[in-house]
Copies of this chain bind each other. A is one copy, B any other.
Amino acid sequence: MRTKVIGYYNSKFGELWNKSLADLIDEAIAGVLQSVRLARADIDAVFFGNMLGGILENSLFNSALIAQIMETTVPVYRLEAACASGGLAFQTATNYLKSNKNKTVLVLGAEKMTDVSVERATEALTAASAAEEQIAGLTFPGLYAMMAQVYLHQYRYDEEHLAYISVKNHYHGSLNEKAQFRKTITVDKVLASPYVAYPLKILSSSAISDGAAALILTNDPVRVKSSRSAVDVLSSEVATDCLAIKNRDSLTELYATQVAAEKAFCEAKIKRNRIDVAEVHDCFSIAEILAMEDIGFWKRGEGGKKAKEMSTQLGTNQRLVVNTSGGLKAAGHPVGATGVKQIGELFLQLTKQAKSRLVKNAHFALAHNVGGAGGMAVVSILAV
């Protein structure tokens, strides 16, 4: 049978100074198993997204740590694809379920980032850029700042257009009790915040976060029947692009997103205008604008104008609501957890568990997770 998501749990995202990476993993596993009333022994395989454990904590090989926590000998796959690690873990799990019948698997994403300075964490994130870019002094925010500069210049927008993305996502974050930032902000406040890398400001940028998220996927009819709620995975596709942005034809498009989205819609056999709710990768405000254009929700160059219209904010009676979790910006961006949280947020939406941020009558949902500055993109489509 078609793969279904039957359970989701995420920890609070934020600066969780009293929790280690192992604590976060432990909490997410216990939480998601409890939510679906399954035991550790019911899980046939684990897919784990984590980026920085090795660099920041000298703790690689968390697959065996997970096996230890789960008291299991089943396969545990750790996937690393920078900020797309969680999305890739989900995608790899869907691959696994295509060739293994009647299985139930755990998809886990976790990151512990706040035990080091923001500078050290940013340096580690920059691990996702090419050697020649690191040597030139480019940081991870610097790469997206260059894309933002070209975009604003090419389509004649200014920093105000970018600011609306953050305002919208903070509003959504204010409705999500697990979000790192729960205060609403204004365009003026975004514009008054200090630059991180021109034209991107503190309030244009996702934060350094701790957190974990977990999903239960199954293609076992017995498990589906006994589950409280289930959503179909219509497709999950991944595409890659060159690592160094200097090697790309365009700085205002992420080609990996375009390819992954095209494949995902093709596989799901639905049109773009059917999507009711989406989580897209907004590590910086410019990233959400590019994502909306690259996925094909907005026309090329239209993003600045569309962002200002706030049409993707909850309650505007528009067709498509974007980043109801608060996105990376307000929900927080514990890197390996992000792609898993995106799927989880859509699960909550499609199963009507999203409380005050519920998008009513949502039937189709899309998640979009990006690695680095566009070297990889994972696009997944869910439905009820």
Task: Determine if A109 is an interface residue (Cβ-Cβ < 8 Å).
Answer: no
From B59, B92, B241, give the contact of A131 (CB < 8 A).
Answer: B59
Among the stretches A29-37, A74-82, A145-153, A158-166, the one at the interface with B is A74-82
Q: Is the CB of B131 within 8 A of A22?
A: yes
Q: Is the CB of A375 within 8 A of B243?
A: no
Task: Determine if A242 is an interface residue (Cβ-Cβ < 8 Å).
Answer: yes
Interface residues of A in 4-52 (CB under 8 A from B): 20, 22, 51-52
Q: Is the CB of A63 within 8 A of B375?
A: yes
Digit string of A255-269 for contact with B (CB within 8 Å is 1, else 0)? 110010000000000
Residue of B with least CB distance to A97: B99
Task: Determine if A251 is an interface residue (Cβ-Cβ < 8 Å).
Answer: no
Interface residues of A in 61-105 (CB under 8 A from B): 61, 63-68, 71-82, 88, 91-92, 95-96, 98-100
Task: Determine if A167 is an interface residue (Cβ-Cβ < 8 Å).
Answer: no
**Chain B residues within 8 Å of A64, by CB:** 82, 128, 240-243, 371-372, 375-376
From B68, B82, B127, give the contact of A244 (CB < 8 A).
Answer: B68
**Chain B residues within 8 Å of A61, by CB:** 80-82, 127-129, 243, 371-372, 375-376
**Chain B residues within 8 Å of A80, by CB:** 54, 60-61, 63, 78, 80
**Chain B residues within 8 Å of A242, by CB:** 64, 67-68, 71
Nearest-neighbour CB distance to chain B for A242, whole angstroms, equals 4
Digit string of A124-137 for contact with B (CB within 8 Å is 1, else 0)? 10111111001000
Q: Is the CB of B81 within 8 A of A63?
A: yes
From B57, B123, B375, give the contact of A67 (CB < 8 A).
Answer: B375
* C-alpha spacing A57/B130, complex, angstroms: 11
Q: A240-B67, A241-B67 are in contact. Are A60 and B95 (CB under 8 A)?
A: no
Q: Is the CB of A58 within 8 A of B123?
A: yes
* C-alpha spacing A74/B131, complex, angstroms: 22
Q: Is the CB of A68 within 8 A of B127?
A: no
From B20, B54, B82, give the contact of A55 (CB < 8 A).
Answer: B54
**Chain B residues within 8 Å of A57, by CB:** 131
* C-alpha spacing A347/B51, complex, angstroms: 33
Residue of B with least CB distance to A92: B77
Task: Determine if A310 is an interface residue (Cβ-Cβ < 8 Å).
Answer: no
Give the residue among A80, A81, A129 with the most B Cβ atoms within 10 A: A80
* C-alpha spacing A300/B131, complex, angstroms: 49
**Chain B residues within 8 Å of A255, by CB:** 73
**Chain B residues within 8 Å of A74, by CB:** 239-240
* C-alpha spacing A72/B72, complex, angstroms: 37
23 contacts between A and B (CB under 8 A): A54-B54, A57-B131, A58-B127, A58-B134, A60-B127, A61-B81, A61-B129, A61-B376, A64-B128, A64-B240, A64-B372, A64-B376, A67-B240, A67-B243, A67-B375, A68-B242, A73-B239, A73-B240, A73-B241, A75-B240, A77-B81, A77-B88, A98-B98
